[in-house]
């Protein structure tokens, strides 16, 4: 029985990066031997065990055979005669198909170290094309390692293209797809994830609403980059540069979907694209079963991002309606996330990445003014029920008028 560290832990050690998850494979052992040593079995698809003391995971070396569609369409075989090389060949990329023993010796049958040096994401074997989830995984790795200069090998991109055209991507469950998408959006260069999906044709299958943005022009005066798809990638890049959370990054990705439905005869203007985009954002939210926080923020940003950009011009009554829409009195953090997404939208424009966004502080001030209106005096006046709600709304409107007037005077 021999134990090896495999996969990402070996890869990241060789790259000099922090190692977070450690996967281990056991060669030459049976399930019964593992049980006799006190290991506890977990998982139902293939033999994985938890160590009796550390709780670390150990998987028996195994082979796999395609048996159906999708990520789960595989039959696994684990036995003592499965070699380390046979276990490694089923992995997705050469840089993930290396093993290291306790003495530090590297087993690298598929030239993963060479591809690390060449900064190449390359598939291990033709069996790569049997698992559609690998299209998303490779695109995610491209986003993760883009800062180090990694790119997807041409032959791997071709296999990803074949997978995208095969219909296999449609067999992925929303949960598996969302797991990869959400992880990719949190990488340093999430826009690379979208770029790679587009290069291999997967974006057209998984996110046709985003694919539709490319080639759609916007007014050059406001968008020097012109192309709506290029703008969306730039907004996503800004969200990563500013360390925004997942909900903001998701909203940044889908905020302009309505522009993809503008008739070409109306280009480069996109009148009412905010409203037209809501149906598309809702569809994407549901397709991937995005978390509720992501769904809500995406819809709100899609509907109101131009309100934020025009915040300094909005009437006090419109400001109040905006704050009410966000339930800013009970959920101020959601309004803050909205402001962040809108600022990323403003910065995601060619040459305007560092331009100030005074609308952000102006909106925060408006929220403080409205939230600061006290309820107690209205109750003491005997208002209750609907009358109390209307009275509170009137007082908040007054407060916003005062705030707007003071802001206009530079106070």
pLDDT, tens digit (0-9, with 9 covering 90-100), for 246-255: 999 999 999 9
Give yes or no for residue 295 having a pLDDT over 90. Answer: yes
The total of structural domains in the chain comes to 2
Would residue 26 count as lying in a domain?
A: yes
User: Does the residue 219 lie in any domain?
Assistant: no
Last residue of a domain, one of 68, 85, 110: 110
pLDDT of residue 411: 52
Q: Is residue 11 part of a domain?
A: yes
Angle (CA) 74 75 76, round 5°: 115
Mean pLDDT, the chain, whole residue set:
94
Q: Could you tell me if residue 23 is inside a domain? A: yes
Mean pLDDT, to the nearest integer, of 302-329? 97
List C-alpha distances in Å: 336 to 120, 319, 332, 367, 368. 39, 15, 6, 10, 12
The residue ranking higher by pLDDT, 211 or 22, is 211
pLDDT score of 20: 84
Per-residue pLDDT reduced to its tens digit, 48-87: 999 888 878 899 998 877 555 544 555 778 889 999 999 9
What is the distance between the alpha carbons of residues 59 and 42, in angstroms, rounded to a whole number?
10
Q: Which domain holds residue 25?
A: 1-110
Residue 234 resides in a domain = no
Q: Which of left, alpha, beta for 226 (phi over 0: left; psi -120 to 50: alpha)?
A: left
pLDDT for the residue numbered 67? 52
Q: What is the CATH number of the domain that holds 78?
A: 3.30.460.10
Instruction: Give how far the C-alpha of residue 229 lies from the chain's centroid of Cα atoms, to the nearest Å.
Output: 16
Considering the entire predicted model, what is its pTM? 0.92
Domain termination residue (choose one: 87, 110, 133): 110
**Residue 176 covered by a domain:** no
Residues 6 or more apart in contact with residue 209 via CB below 8 angstroms: 254, 257, 260, 280, 283, 284
> Looking at the domain assignment, is residue 92 inside a domain?
yes
What is the model's pLDDT at position 258?
98
pLDDT at residue 370 tops 70: yes
287 has pLDDT over 90: yes
* pLDDT average, residue stretch 179-202: 98
Looking at residue 16, its pLDDT comes to 96
Confirm whether 62 is domain-assigned.
yes
Local confidence band at 89 (pLDDT 50, 70, 90 cut-offs) = very high
Tokens of residue 54, six digits? 């550390």
The pLDDT, as a whole number, for residue 409 is 79
Which of the listed residues 110, 140, 168 is the one where a domain comes to its end?
110
- Give tens-digit pLDDT for 337-349: 999 999 999 999 9
pLDDT band at 303 (very low <50, low <70, confident <90, very high): very high
Cis peptide before 268 (omega within 30 of 0): yes
């Amino acid at each position: 029985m021999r134990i090896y560290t495999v996969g990402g832990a070996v890869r990241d050690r060789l790259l000099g990066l922090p190692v977070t998850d450690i996967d281990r494979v056991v060669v030459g052992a049976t399930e019964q031997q593992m049980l006799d040593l006190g290991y506890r079995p977990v998982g139902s698809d293939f033999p994985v065990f938890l160590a009796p003391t550390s709780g670390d995971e150990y998987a028996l070396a195994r082979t796999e055979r395609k048996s159906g569609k999708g990520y789960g369409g595989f039959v696994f075989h684990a036995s003592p005669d499965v070699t380390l090389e046979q276990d490694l060949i089923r992995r997705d990329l050469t840089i993930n198909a290396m093993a290291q023993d306790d003495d530090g010796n590297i087993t690298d049958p598929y030239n993963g170290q060479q591809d690390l040096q060449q900064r190449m994401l390359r598939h291990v074997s033709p069996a790569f094309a049997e698992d559609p989830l690998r299209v998303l995984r490779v695109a995610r790795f491209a986003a993760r390692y883009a800062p180090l200069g990694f790119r997807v090998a041409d032959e791997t991109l071709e296999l990803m293209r074949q997978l995208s055209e095969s219909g296999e991507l449609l067999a992925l469950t929303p949960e598996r797809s969302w797991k990869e998408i959400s992880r990719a959006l949190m990488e340093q260069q999430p826009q690379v994830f979208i770029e790679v999906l587009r290069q291999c044709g997967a974006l057209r299958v998984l996110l046709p609403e985003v694919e539709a943005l490319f080639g759609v022009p916007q007014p050059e005066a406001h968008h020097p980059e012109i192309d709506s798809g290029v703008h969306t990638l730039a907004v996503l890049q800004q969200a990563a540069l500013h360390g925004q959370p997942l909900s903001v990054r998701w909203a940044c990705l889908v905020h302009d979907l309505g522009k993809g439905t503008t008739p070409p005869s109306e280009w480069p203007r996109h009148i009412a694209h905010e409203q037209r985009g809501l149906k598309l954002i809702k569809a994407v939210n549901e397709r991937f079963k995005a978390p509720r926080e992501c769904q809500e923020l995406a819809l709100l940003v899609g509907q109101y991002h131009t309100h934020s950009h025009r915040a300094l011009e909005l009437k006090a009554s419109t400001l109040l309606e905006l704050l009410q829409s966000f339930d800013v009195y009970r959920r101020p953090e959601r309004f803050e996330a909205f402001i962040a997404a809108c600022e990323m939208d403003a910065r995601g424009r060619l040459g305007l990445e560092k331009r100030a966004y005074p609308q952000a502080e102006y909106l925060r001030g408006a929220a403080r003014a409205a939230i600061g209106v006290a309820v107690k005096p209205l109750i003491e006046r005997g208002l209750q029920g609907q009358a109390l709600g209307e009275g509170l709304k009137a007082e908040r409107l007054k407060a916003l008028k005062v705030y707007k007037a003071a802001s206009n005077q530079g106070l």
